[in-house]
Amino acid sequence: MRAAQIARSGGAFELVERPIPEPAAGQVRVKVQACGICHSDSLVKEGLWPGIQYPRVPGHEVIGVVDAVGPGVTQWKPGQRVGVGWHGGHCGMCDACRSGDFFGCTVALQVTGISFDGGYADYLVAPAVALALVPSELSAADGAPLMCAGITTYNALRNSGARAGDLVAVLGLGGLGHLAVQYAVKMGFRTVGIARGKDKGPLAQKLGAHHYIDSEAQNPSVELTKLGGARLILATVTNGDAMAAVQNGLGLHGTLLIVGAAESLTISPLVLILGNRSVKGWYSGTAADSQDTLKFSVLTGVRSMNEVYPLDRVSEAYERMMSGKARFRVVLTME
Ligand SMILES: NC(=O)c1ccc[n+]([C@@H]2O[C@H](COP(=O)([O-])OP(=O)(O)OC[C@H]3O[C@@H](n4cnc5c(N)ncnc54)[C@H](OP(=O)(O)O)[C@@H]3O)[C@@H](O)[C@H]2O)c1
Ligand SMILES: [Zn+2]
């Protein structure tokens, strides 16, 4: 099979031939059809995640078909259409797992494309617990970005406490952000898209946003305040200064909900104190959350806007995502 691997921290993509891997006990082999390229794949490429063992095949926005199951796997069978996301597995027995907080697993937390090889390949082998069932309405390329960009923003929004009619802003219109705008609209929020430059304005409108703020031409905090102050700002940008620039746009009891992995962030304690405001993070979700995301996307017509590349052009595809020019998700297809 073909696989696009990173041989060392900071290394380039190498397209290599590898034997098709066999699933061990509790594992499933998936024949990959499509895999989205997420900004978080830069953690693998640049060695920014502790303890990665190279060579490593990135990719945690996978859609494919179950190809073989390992011993003891009863819930999956060959031919089923499945997705694999960031959350690759957990022990199921520690205190965190037993309370349903799988990301708190201290025993065996696994991340797809980091702890084990991911979806930039013709096949991957994943723990059975990492698989989500994919509705037949979704094509592989349509479904792939929903497995990380989709689940992360959908899950963050639905657990945020914001209620229908509240002013919800999405900061950054990239892979995550353009899906977040659509989910926010479908969940009934008064939705504001915030991005750099005026060219994303018509796109934000097309995605359903009720308002657009060009953060280069306008002060996003001032504009949000004019709209009444945000109950929630979902920050999908990769830059801490861009996040800091919106904090004054939070309304009373407003929350700045961070999903973008910026390096640092400066928040004024007075901003937090005077309006009972908060800053909070949100971490992806599990396979069950992925299934909810896929079903909600089918129900409401939320889709990723994709630029599709064949696996052979992985370097170009990855650079396209990193450039910020992609409208809006780059997806690799294997066939
Ligand atoms: N929390 C989680 O579970 C989770 C899951 C997936 C990804 N992530 C993280 O979420 C972030 C976004 O991922 P993605 O795949 O959506 O990335 P992406 O498609 O590359 O989008 C990045 C966004 O960052 C903005 N941006 C980049 N540089 C900027 C700057 N200097 N100033 C202001 N804005 C800037 C861009 O904003 P414009 O629209 O204004 O151009 C763009 O919308 C990444 O940090 C990723 O690692 C987190
Ligand atoms: Zn991701």
User: Do residues 156 and 137 share a domain?
Assistant: no
Where does ligand 1 bind, in terms of residues with CB under 6 Å? 38-40, 148-149, 152, 172-177, 195-196, 200, 236-239, 242, 259-261, 282-284, 321, 324
pLDDT (mean) for 104-114: 94
Please tell me whether residues 158 and 267 are part of one structural domain.
Answer: yes
pLDDT (mean) for 208-235: 98
Residues 290 and 209 in one domain: no
**Residue finishing a domain among 281, 297, 324:** 281
Query: In this structure, are 17 and 44 located in the same domain?
Result: yes
pTM for the full predicted model:
0.98
Going 50 to 103 to 41 to 173, the CA torsion angle's sign is negative
CATH number at residue 31: 3.90.180.10
- Neighbour-count burial of 216, counting CB atoms closer than 10 A to its CB (0-12 exposed, 13-18 middle, 19+ buried): exposed
Q: Rounded distance, CA 302 to CA 115, Å?
A: 30
Residue pair 162/182 in contact by the 8 Å Cβ criterion: no
| Mean pLDDT, residues 326-331 taken together | 97
At residue 165 the predicted structure's pLDDT band, cuts being 50, 70 and 90, is very high
Tokens 């280069």, located at residue: 216
User: Residue 335 above 90 pLDDT?
Assistant: no
Residues 57 and 170 in one domain: no
Same domain, 134 and 86: yes
Name residues whose C-beta falls within 8 Å of residue 52's C-beta, 6 or more positions apart in sequence.
9, 44, 114
Q: What is the CA radius of gyration of the chain?
A: 20
Which atom of ligand 1 is the closest one to the Cα of 215?
40
Cβ neighbours of 25 (radius 10 Å): 10
Phi, psi of 305 (to 5 degrees): -90, 120
Number of domains in the chain: 2
What average pLDDT does range 192-219 have in this prediction? 98
Q: Are residues 157 and 277 in the same domain?
A: yes
Is 90 exceeded by the pLDDT of residue 284?
yes
Mutate to test the pocket of ligand 1, among 237, 286, 330 (most ligand atoms within 8 A of CB): 237
Give the residue-averaged pLDDT of 33-40: 98
Among all bound ligands, the one having the nearest atom to the CA of 58 is 2
Cβ contact 64:162 at 8 Å: no
DSSP state of 312: G
Residue 58's nearest CA partner among 88, 31, 38 is 38
Six token digits for residue 37: 């390229």
Domain end: 240, 262, 281, which one? Answer: 281
Q: H or E element: which one contains 110?
A: strand 110-111
User: CA torsion sign, 321 to 325 to 331 to 333?
Assistant: negative
pLDDT per position as a tens digit, 251-278:
999 999 999 999 999 999 999 999 999 9
Give strand pairing partners of 232: 168, 255
- Report CA(292)–ligand 1 centroid distance (Å): 23
Q: How far apart are the first and last CA of the chain?
A: 12
308 and 260 both lie in a single domain: no
**pLDDT tens-digit profile of 233-256?**
999 999 999 999 999 999 999 999
Structural domain containing residue 74: 2-148+284-333
Separation between Cα atoms, residue 47 and residue 10, nearest integer Å: 6
Nearest 5°: the CA angle 63, 306, 152 is: 60
Q: What angle do CA 147, 236, 210 make, to 5 degrees?
A: 100
Q: Where are the alpha helices (DSSP H) in 99-219?
A: 140-143, 149-158, 175-186, 200-206
143 and 7: one domain?
Answer: yes
Whether residues 289 and 260 fall in one domain: no
Distance from C-alpha of 256 to C-alpha of 231, rounded to nearest angstrom: 9
Q: Residue of the nearest CA to atom 17 in ligand 1?
A: 39
When the pLDDT of each residue in the chain is averaged and rounded to a whole number, the result is 97
pLDDT score of 170 more than 90 = yes
CA of 172 to the centre of ligand 1 (A): 6
Same domain? For 128 and 234 the reply is no
Supply the CATH number for residue 244's domain: 3.40.50.720
Domain endpoint, select from 239, 262, 281:
281
pLDDT beyond 90 at 293 = yes
Mean pLDDT of 77-105: 94
Percent of the chain with pLDDT over 70: 100
Task: Provide the pLDDT for residue 190.
Answer: 98
54 with 167, same domain: the answer is no
Instruction: Describe the chain by its helix, strand, coil percentages, rounded to 5.
Output: 30, 30, 40
